[in-house]
Amino acid sequence: MSAVRTPAADAGREPGLCPVTVDLLDALLAIEVEAYTFPWTRGNFIDALAAGYIARALVLPGRILLGYYVAMVGVDELHLLNLTVAPQQQGCGHARRLLASVYDQARSCGLAAIWLEVRESNARARALYLREGFTEAGRRRDYYPAPLGRHEDAILMTRGPAA
């Protein structure tokens, strides 16, 4: 997998979606570790793939990874577990492209709702989800680990796949 590049270097090249496979894990983990203080582990991703969760990567020609998501089908709902865009690629519309794929997956499975949790402190992601038609549906107290042994609340958000 090629290294993540800057948006200017990739001007005019169209990214596409592909299934996340084990051969993408090194590049995916490099983004995960850069993007989060408490990243998913290789084991988390392998477990998700082994369980048959929906996992898609957004890549440029040459297999340059821009972002990815992992989602789990539940009873009448899709639960978005992880959606990440490489920090150098944020602000380029890649999260919206990944979310469009999430919506397509939910519709194709005939699911009525999409659910996710987002850190209370992640104002940028929360704003994106609100712009995308998600609404805040609740709070999970002390859901995420935080520095110094503390925990942070998650904001539970939902929307329909066709919203």
Q: Above 90 in pLDDT, residue 24?
A: yes
- For the domain 15-159, what is the CATH code? 3.40.630.30
Q: What local confidence, expressed as pLDDT, does residue 3 receive?
A: 43
77 a catalytic residue: no
In tens, the pLDDT along 115-161 reads: 999 999 999 999 999 999 999 999 999 999 888 989 999 999 999 98
Q: What is the pLDDT of residue 1?
A: 44
> Rounded to whole angstroms, how far apart are CA atoms 83 and 68?
6
Of the candidates 53, 69, 117, 144, the residue annotated as catalytic is: 117
Neighbours of 145 (CB within 10 A): 11
Instruction: Give the mean model confidence (pLDDT) for residues 33-39.
Output: 95
The C-alpha atoms of residue 63 and residue 65 are separated, in whole angstroms, by 6
- List the domain boundaries for the chain: 15-159
Is residue 7 over pLDDT 50? no
> Percentage of the chain with pLDDT > 90?
85
pLDDT 10s digits, 55-88: 999 999 988 999 999 999 999 999 999 999 999 9
Choosing from 53, 68, 129, 144, the catalytic residue is 129
**Residue 132 appears among annotated catalytic residues:** no
Question: What SS3 string covers 40-90?
Answer: CCHHHHHHHHHCCCEEEEEEECCCEEEEEEEEEEECCEEEEEEEEECHHHC
Quick one: which of 107, 5, 126 has its CA closest to 66?
Answer: 5
The confidence score (pLDDT) of residue 11 equals 52
